[in-house]
Amino acid sequence: MIDVQDLHKSFKQQVVLDGASIFFAEGKITTILGGSGSGKSVLVKHIIGLLRPDSGTIVVDGQDLETLDDRELLQVRKKFGYLFQDSALFDFMNVFDNISFPLFEHTRLKRSEVQHVVAEKLRLVGLAGIEKKMPSELSGGMKKRVALARAVALDPKIIIYDEPTTGLDPVMTDTVNDLIATTQEALGITTIVISHDIRSSLRISDFLGLLNEGKIVEFGTPEKVQESEHPMMRLFLAGIERAPVSKS
């Protein structure tokens, strides 16, 4: 589905990506695990064409991004849904307007069809019937669900979650992890998760890549990477042993 080969990216003197290669399999959940500031978001911004690499190739759905102009890149970007950590809802719009926004923006669906899609996406995230509520009436967890419903409104082929559980309590963390897994199952959507939360990563991922010093130094199934001898992976895994209940 997405193939990243030998990606290099520096900002001025700072080398962020130094030959990173990773593959995201169709219909699977793949997590990029790495310490904060290791370049996870920079890597993902390349995949959606927001950053251009210094060198290396990115192929999305058979298209080499390097060969595309800005207009074509925009088309590629439409294949993605995103849920960023700070995916805020528009506070002055109700739930229906929040979710329907991309539909009115990017499709020619009639209002009745849009209503149908919004109802279906709300059902998917377990919040059927709350179209008229304002964000201020929702709990943090419900807001996250509505943001997810909006992210999948256009039926993206690929969804990216950037640090979905950072800053959440353990219960909320499990809820969001379940939501990622059920969404992936229900829609068969290719899922990319960026995380520094190894517990969540091991729980939900089909594949896991460890980004360290600009490279993917370890890649495989959760079972496989748990056996890794890489010092950074050992550090992540030691964090679980020391703190059985994740604080973040």
Ligand X SMILES: Nc1ncnc2c1ncn2[C@@H]1O[C@H](COP(=O)(O)OP(=O)(O)O)[C@@H](O)[C@H]1O
* Residue 37 binds ligand X (CB under 6 A): yes
Q: What is the 3-state secondary structure (H, E, C) of 216-232?
A: EEEEECHHHHHCCCCHH
31, 38, 41, 205: residue in contact with Mg ion (rule CB under 5 A): 41
Partner whose footprint covers residue 13, from Mg ion, ligand X, none (CB < 5 to 8 Å by kind): none
Q: Which stretch, 37-45, 117-125, 132-140, 215-223, contacts ligand X (CB under 6 A)?
A: 37-45
Partner whose footprint covers residue 16, from ligand X, Mg ion, none (CB < 5 to 8 Å by kind): ligand X
Region 129-168 residues binding ligand X, contact defined as CB under 6 A: none
4, 39, 153, 212: residue in contact with ligand X (rule CB under 6 A): 39
Q: Which stretch, 30-38, 72-80, 142-150, 167-175, contacts ligand X (CB under 6 A)?
A: 30-38
Q: What is the 3-state secondary structure (H, E, C) of the chain?
A: CEEEEEEEEEECCEEEEEEEEEEECCCCEEEEECCCCCCHHHHHHHHCCCCCCCEEEEEECCEEHHHCCHHHHHHHHCCEEEEECCCCCCCCCCHHHHHHHHHHHHCCCCHHHHHHHHHHHHHHCCCCCCCCCCHHHCCHHHHHHHHHHHHCCCCCCEEEEECCCCCCCHHHHHHHHHHHHHHHHHHCCEEEEEECCHHHHHHHCCEEEEEECCEEEEEECHHHHHCCCCHHHHHHHHHHHHCCCCCC
* Residue 201 binds Mg ion (CB under 5 A): no
Query: Taking the complex as a whole, how short is the minimal distance between the CB of residue 184 and ligand X, in angstroms?
Result: 22
- Closer residue to ligand X in complex, CB, 114/216: 216
Number of residues this chain uses to bind ligand X (CB under 6 A)? 10
- Closer residue to Mg ion in complex, CB, 43/204: 43
- Closer residue to ligand X in complex, CB, 52/224: 52
Do residues 214 and 17 make contact, with C-beta atoms less than 8 angstroms apart?
Answer: yes
The token pair at 107 is: 């499709």
- CA 42 to centroid of chain Cα atoms: 13
The token pair at 146 is: 């509505």
Do residues 45 and 58 make contact, with C-beta atoms less than 8 angstroms apart?
Answer: no
11, 90, 92, 104: residue in contact with ligand X (rule CB under 6 A): 11
Do residues 135 and 141 make contact, with C-beta atoms less than 8 angstroms apart?
Answer: no
Binding mask 41-80 for ligand X (x = CB under 6 A): xx--------------------------------------
Q: Which stretch, 35-43, 85-93, 143-151, 168-176, contacts ligand X (CB under 6 A)?
A: 35-43
Query: Taking the complex as a whole, how short is the minimal distance between the CB of residue 116 and ligand X, in angstroms?
Result: 37
Query: Taking the complex as a whole, how short is the minimal distance between the CB of residue 11 and ligand X, in angstroms?
Result: 4
Binding interface with Mg ion (CB under 5 A) = 41
| Contacts to ligand X by CB under 6 A | 11, 16, 34, 36-42
